[in-house]
Amino acid sequence: MKKHVRLITLLLVLLLVLSALSGCAQKPAEPAKPADPGTPAETGTPAESGDTPAPEPSDDPLAGPAIDKDTVVICTADETPSLTTAGHNAVAGDYVNKLTHNGLFRLDKELNPTPDLVAEYTVEKDEKGEDSIWVMTLHEGVKFHDGSVMTTDDVLASIEHAQNSPDIRSYTQSIVKTEKVDDLTFKIYTDGPSASLLYDLSHHGNYIVPARQLAQETDPAKLDQLLNTEVIGAGPYKFVEWRKGEQITFTAHEDYFDAERAPKIKNIVWKIIPEGSSRTIALRAGDVDYIIETDSISIPELEADPNVAVMKVESVSHNWLTINNEVPPFDDINVRKAMNAAINKEDVVTVALNGTGVVAMSQTPTGMLGEYTGEYDAYDLDLAKKYMETWGGDPSTIKLEMICSNDTKARAAEVIMANLKEIGIESSIVRMDLATYLSVTAEGDFTGFIGGYTSNEMMSFLKGVYLSSNINSSNKTRTSEPELDELIIKATKTVDQGEREKVLQAATKFLNELCPQIPLYQDYTLSAHKANLKNTFITPGGSFFAQEWEW
Amino acid sequence: MWKYIAKRLLYMIPVLLGVTLIVYIIMSVAPGDPAKAILGDQATPDAIEQLREELGLDDPLLVQYGRYVKGLVRGDLGISYKSKGPVIDEIIARVPTTLYLSLSATIIAVVIAIPLGILAAVKQNTFIDGLSMFIALIGISIPIFWLGLLLLVYFAQELRWFPASGASSWKHFVLPGIALGFHSMASIARITRSSMLEVIRQDYIRTARSKGMPYKQVITKHALPNALIPTITVTGLQIGALLAGSVLTESVFSLPGIGRLIINSIQGRDIPVVLGCILVFTLTFSIINLLVDILYAFVDPRIRAQYF
């Protein structure tokens, strides 16, 4: 028996050693490749988005392509709920919509709206003398995937369809009515001057589908099913097949209207791989060519692989510790400012994001028109204590519960807990699944939570996060400041970009002084792909342009 | 026998209805509004209200459940809140993957576990017994998730013998089958060993050996059939556990099965899809229980005589 015990012990030790070796096993790091413009030189340095410099072509099959030079295999964490344009508001769906459909406008690499299906447009004055009539003309001969030619009727029907869809109708709010001029020209009437219209028209919810299809069904549920199975757009790729939960395939639209942006790779296989580590393994094993969402923990391993290129771009996703401004003592500005100054955000970025992000100091994100980074307090424990003294209450009476809906947020909350203890505030972490978190936080039934908001432009961000009419939905700090509301509304009505920038900056300045929540970080958008894939690019909004890629 | 089977099949109807009622109530009273889960952080109150109305979520709970059961009787599992497509289509697209996965895991588990259990029993207290039970111990202790990742790193990434993701050929089910089957293998091997040990100490085994029957024949003809009853029971239960384990395995190996669908649907409060998946699990588990009971009769003539 003793002999067996010894043998089993030996086997156990052997297994542990093998496991440890497998954990440490990593190929020696290759000499550093030329850095992507999108790659920060060091952790915490803001990155710029940009074209990836063409890496040296490699003969190694693991450098791509996974299938052949006519195909690129993209993998993503989440499956789109729908292939329709207006039947969802999911990021995973937006990626797919960008392949199959076009909008009247699109966001360029700097996130500015630029004409897409529209060839030219002018703004006319209404009877009040306001710039609210948008006259737009489509490119001639734009063809849908079924061969039919796009006309004004398709545009007007698509906008009407979007206005009736609960998922995305907020992106049509500024549109009062539409009017056909001729087969290629139409008018959009907005509720006064609108700075957000062109951004809204760039949203996938307003992408153009054939009017013929929209007229086929009157029942919204049946129409959704029809649009989800017969996917017809005018985008660079045509839908081929959807194997639910596994993959979607697309093939190039040969009659794509924009010759300069026509697809260079014929086929796209769009794979769904939910686990981050499995996506990394699939890329390194040669099964896929491009990972849209790369796990931050896999970055060192991928950067050391000569067959892989990693792209890091500072995203426009702004993350914070939200505190309920209606609940005492968080309604006191000194308490909020004390908490803000007491939290070491560098530590939060290191612990929560493995260093793949930048510290956020301002109440609004950087990297978009109207950014402003003044009037905030940096990490300063003495200053935090002074704010607490000014408040005059007993810090031990403050009870902060931080709701977290995922591991990243929970790691951030652990750092915050330790920091707040330094000024005598006791806090705790409450884990919730996403659906519960969304309900509880929208209803205001909380003291604090780790949250965030992603928007491609400042007006939507300010409206969503701070406009008082959005209390009980996306204004979760429950900020209600008439002066701020006025600034936000003014920005949405200011068409002149320079003027609008000033108004947006004034709004952020106001917010930084008010400190309704504690900004934490803006994470990086992390993507990785085979080294042989060229012309890749990601925007701060996380978008990419698959039709520009080539082997 | 056919009467017995028909009776058991009829018993399944109240079981299925009971399960749907319980799950419906739990999902409906659980915090988290399906409309908010679908529309996300940026939804306006108006949009949430419109969607709730479209989905019929403003109706009383009993009205909603009654509507569901009415559809169920007609074979309509409803419309997914999230994809807005028929639930039946979502499930049909994913059932084969989960079935292949469970089948491959069961085959791997049974093929390894039964010989391992027999060997450990007949070679009790030897090195082989120790090694067999050591393997079983590892199988029970090792998390499916970790084993799956380890298999992926070695056999997909390093050796490139098997694909890392997908479900389009038998090769895609080998690694997930091993990851999922390893845990069941351990339980089955342990129960086979203990029941074999019990049987080989019986008088009739001693009699067979004293009559000069070869040892191999004694084990395969006399001991094994009697020792198999508890093994069959555990194997049946393990298939149920495999369905639960498929949730993790399908995520690690990116298999488009029911396990992943139900997890995503619970997170998104997509009640019709959750109910549809639960129905499939319940039905599968009930049918497996029935098959196990029938199998007893084939293995043990006394049961056959008593019930069939």
Taking each helix axis as running N to C, give the angle between helix B224-252 and helix B87-122, from 0 to 180 degrees, rounded to the nearest 10.
140
Q: Is the pLDDT of residue A20 over 60?
A: no
Helices (H), A30-164: 91-100, 152-163
What is residue A218's DSSP assignment? S
The structure tokens 């419309």 sit at B79
Q: Which of A278, A279, A363, A352 is nearest to A320 (CA)?
A: A363
Q: Is the pLDDT of residue A88 over 90?
A: no
The reported pLDDT for the residue numbered A5 is: 54
How many other CB atoms are there within 10 angstroms of residue A290's CB atom?
Answer: 26
Residue A544 lies in a domain: no
Name, of A177-186, B68-77, B107-116, the range with top average pLDDT: A177-186
**Do residue B84 and residue A434 have CB atoms under 8 angstroms apart?**
no
- Against a cut of 0.90, is the pTM above it? no
| Cα–Cα–Cα angle for B220, B225, B227, rounded to 5 degrees | 100
Residue A200 lies in a domain: yes
The reported pLDDT for the residue numbered A367 is: 84
* Phi/psi at B79 (5° precision): -115, 135
The structure tokens 């701060």 sit at A540
The reported pLDDT for the residue numbered A528 is: 95
Q: Which of A297, A251, A292 is nearest to A529 (CA)?
A: A292
Residue A23: which pLDDT band, with cuts at 50, 70 and 90?
very low
Question: Minimal Cα distance from A243: which residue of B?
Answer: B93
DSSP A290-308: EESS--GGGHHHHHT-TTE
Q: Is the pLDDT of residue A42 over 50?
A: no
CA distances (Å), origin B209, targets A22, A379, B120, B217: 49, 83, 19, 9
Q: Is A158 found in the same domain as A10?
A: no
How far separated are the first and last CA of chain A, in Å rounded?
A: 63
Report the alpha-carbon distance of residue A348 to residue A339 in Å, rounded. Answer: 14
Q: Is A241 found in the same domain as A153?
A: yes
3-state secondary structure of A134: strand
Percent of chain B clearing pLDDT 70 (strictly above): 99
Q: Which of A144, A149, A139 is nearest to A119 (CA)?
A: A139
Four-point Cα dihedral B188, B193, B199, B202, nearest 10:
-160
Give ipTM to 2 decimals. Answer: 0.77
The residue ranking higher by pLDDT, B223 or A30, is B223
Contacts of A100 (CB under 8 A, 6+ apart): A83, A145, A231, A233, A235, A237, A238, A239, A250
How many other CB atoms are there within 10 angstroms of residue B206's CB atom?
Answer: 12
Q: Is A25 found in the same domain as A124?
A: no
Class of domain B96-307: mainly alpha
The reported pLDDT for the residue numbered B158 is: 87
- B62, two tokens: 């009993």
The partner residue sitting opposite A473, judged by closest CB among B38, B44, B164, is B44
- A265, two tokens: 């790779």
How many other CB atoms are there within 10 angstroms of residue B161's CB atom?
Answer: 11
**DSSP E strand boundaries for A224-294:** 237-243, 247-252, 267-272, 290-291
CA distance A535 to chain B (A): 26
Residue A206: which pLDDT band, with cuts at 50, 70 and 90?
very high
Q: Is the pLDDT of residue B302 over 80?
A: no
Residue A321 lies in a domain: yes
Q: What is the mean pLDDT of chain A?
A: 87
Averaged pLDDT, A449-473: 89
If contacts are CB pairs under 8 Å, which of residues 272-291 in chain A contact chain B?
272-275, 277-278, 281-282, 284-288
The partner residue sitting opposite B42, judged by closest CB among A88, A275, A474, is A474
The reported pLDDT for the residue numbered A36 is: 38
pLDDT tens digits for range A135-186: 999 999 999 999 999 999 999 999 999 998 888 888 898 899 999 999 999 9
Query: β-strands A118-125, A131-138: how paired?
Result: antiparallel
How far separated are the first and last CA of chain B, in Å rounded?
A: 5
How many other CB atoms are there within 10 angstroms of residue A357's CB atom?
Answer: 28
The reported pLDDT for the residue numbered A26 is: 44
Report the alpha-carbon distance of residue A362 to residue A376 in Å, rounded. Answer: 6
**Do residue B41 and residue A474 have CB atoms under 8 angstroms apart?**
yes
Domain housing A176: 78-256+268-272
Name chain B contacts of A440, Cβ cutoff 8 Å: 31
Residue A11: which pLDDT band, with cuts at 50, 70 and 90?
low
Taking each helix axis as running N to C, give the angle between helix B271-299 and helix B87-122, from 0 to 180 degrees, rounded to the nearest 10.
40
How many other CB atoms are there within 10 angstroms of residue A249's CB atom?
Answer: 18
3-state secondary structure string across A354-366: CCCEEECCCCCCC
**Do residue A435 and residue B269 have CB atoms under 8 angstroms apart?**
yes
DSSP B7-23: HHHHHHHHHHHHHHHHH
A31 preceded by a cis bond (ω within 30 of 0): no
Four-point Cα dihedral A386, A389, A395, A401, nearest 10:
-50
- B116, two tokens: 């391992």
Q: Is the pLDDT of residue B285 over 50?
A: yes
Query: β-strands A71-76, A290-291: how paired?
Result: parallel
The reported pLDDT for the residue numbered B240 is: 74
Q: Is A498 exposed, middle or buried (0-12, 13-18, 19+ CB in 10 A)?
A: exposed
Averaged pLDDT, B158-169: 86
The reported pLDDT for the residue numbered A352 is: 93
CA distance A221 to chain B (A): 7
Residue B213: which pLDDT band, with cuts at 50, 70 and 90?
confident
Q: Is the pLDDT of residue B68 over 80?
A: yes
Report the alpha-carbon distance of residue B304 to residue B308 in Å, rounded. Answer: 5
Q: Which of A164, A140, A162, A158 is nearest to A213 (CA)?
A: A158
Contact between A493 and A195 under an 8 Å Cβ cutoff? The reply is: yes
The residue ranking higher by pLDDT, B99 or A117, is A117
**Do residue A453 and residue B94 have CB atoms under 8 angstroms apart?**
no
**Do residue A281 and residue B157 have CB atoms under 8 angstroms apart?**
yes
The residue ranking higher by pLDDT, A267 or B34, is A267
The backbone region for A263, taken as left when phi is positive above 0, alpha when psi lies in -120 to 50, beta otherwise, is: beta
Q: What is the mean pLDDT of chain B?
A: 86
- B173, two tokens: 């089910």
CA distance B72 to chain A (A): 19
Q: Is A247 found in the same domain as A183?
A: yes
Q: Is the pLDDT of residue A27 over 60?
A: no
The residue ranking higher by pLDDT, A57 or A520, is A520
The partner residue sitting opposite B260, judged by closest CB among A4, A81, A274, is A274
CATH number for the domain harbouring residue A94: 3.90.76.10
Name chain B contacts of A287, Cβ cutoff 8 Å: 156, 163-166
The reported pLDDT for the residue numbered A165 is: 87
Residue A216 lies in a domain: yes
The partner residue sitting opposite B44, judged by closest CB among A170, A275, A453, is A170
**Do residue B33 and residue A243 have CB atoms under 8 angstroms apart?**
no
Q: Is the pLDDT of residue A35 over 60?
A: no
Report the alpha-carbon distance of residue A299 to residue A283 in Å, rounded. Answer: 12
Residue A389 lies in a domain: yes
- B128, two tokens: 């082989």
The partner residue sitting opposite B165, judged by closest CB among A287, A438, A440, is A287
- B261, two tokens: 């669908």
The reported pLDDT for the residue numbered A529 is: 94
HSE of A222, CA atoms in CB hemisphere, 13 A: 6
Q: How many domains does chain A have?
A: 2
Four-point Cα dihedral B180, B184, B189, B192, nearest 10:
-150
Contacts of A515 (CB under 8 A, 6+ apart): A333, A336, A337, A340, A363, A376, A377
The structure tokens 């960008």 sit at A98
Q: Is the pLDDT of residue A100 over 90?
A: yes
Report the alpha-carbon distance of residue B61 to residue A18 in Å, rounded. Answer: 55
Q: Is the pLDDT of residue A31 over 60?
A: no
Question: Minimal Cα distance from A462: which residue of B?
Answer: B42
The residue ranking higher by pLDDT, B305 or A20, is B305
The reported pLDDT for the residue numbered A444 is: 84
Report the alpha-carbon distance of residue A95 to residue A545 in Å, rounded. Answer: 9
Residue A25: which pLDDT band, with cuts at 50, 70 and 90?
very low
Q: Is A507 found in the same domain as A409?
A: yes
pLDDT tens digits for range A281-338: 999 998 999 999 998 889 999 999 999 999 999 888 899 999 999 999 999 999 999 9
Residue A521 lies in a domain: yes
3-state secondary structure of A101: coil
Report the alpha-carbon distance of residue A88 to residue A421 in Å, rounded. Answer: 42
Q: Is A196 found in the same domain as A113?
A: yes
Which of the residue ranges A4-8, A116-120, A376-380 would you say has the lowest mean pLDDT? A4-8
Q: Is the pLDDT of residue A32 over 60?
A: no
Which of the residue ranges A388-392, A394-398, B82-86, B177-181 would you say has the lowest mean pLDDT? B82-86
Whether residue A468 lies within 8 A of chain B, CB to CB, comes out as no
CATH number for the domain harbouring residue A393: 3.10.105.10
Residue B7: which pLDDT band, with cuts at 50, 70 and 90?
confident
Contact between A170 and A196 under an 8 Å Cβ cutoff? The reply is: no
If contacts are CB pairs under 8 Å, which of residues 59-98 in chain A contact chain B?
75, 79, 81-82, 84, 87-90
Residue A148 lies in a domain: yes
Name chain A contacts of B263, Cβ cutoff 8 Å: none
Please list the residues that pair with A74 across neighbouring strands: A270, A290
The reported pLDDT for the residue numbered A150 is: 96
- B57, two tokens: 């979520």
Number of H helices, E strands in chain A: 16, 17
3-state secondary structure string across A22-77: HHHCCCCCCCCCCCCCCCCCCCCCCCCCCCCCCCCCCCCHHHCCCCCCCEEEEEEC
Four-point Cα dihedral A4, A7, A11, A14, nearest 10:
160
Q: Is A136 found in the same domain as A12?
A: no
Please give the helix or strand (H or E) that residue B100 lies within, else none.
helix B87-122
Residue A173 lies in a domain: yes
Q: Sheet holding A175-180: strands in order across?
A: A118-125, A131-138, A185-190, A175-180
- B205, two tokens: 């085994």
The reported pLDDT for the residue numbered A486 is: 94
Report the alpha-carbon distance of residue A460 to residue A456 in Å, rounded. Answer: 8
The partner residue sitting opposite A434, judged by closest CB among B37, B86, B157, is B37
* Phi/psi at A212 (5° precision): -55, -45
3-state secondary structure of A173: coil
Q: Which of A345, A339, A376, A382 is nearest to A509 (CA)?
A: A376
Please give the single-letter amino acid code of residue B249: T
Contact between A384 and A425 under an 8 Å Cβ cutoff? The reply is: no
The reported pLDDT for the residue numbered B300 is: 74
3-state secondary structure of B103: helix
The reported pLDDT for the residue numbered A185 is: 95
Percent of chain A clearing pLDDT 90 (strictly above): 62
Report the alpha-carbon distance of residue A322 to residue A333 in Å, rounded. Answer: 14
Contacts of A213 (CB under 8 A, 6+ apart): A226, A227, A230, A232
- A522, two tokens: 């803006």
* Phi/psi at B239 (5° precision): -65, -40
CA distance B29 to chain A (A): 11
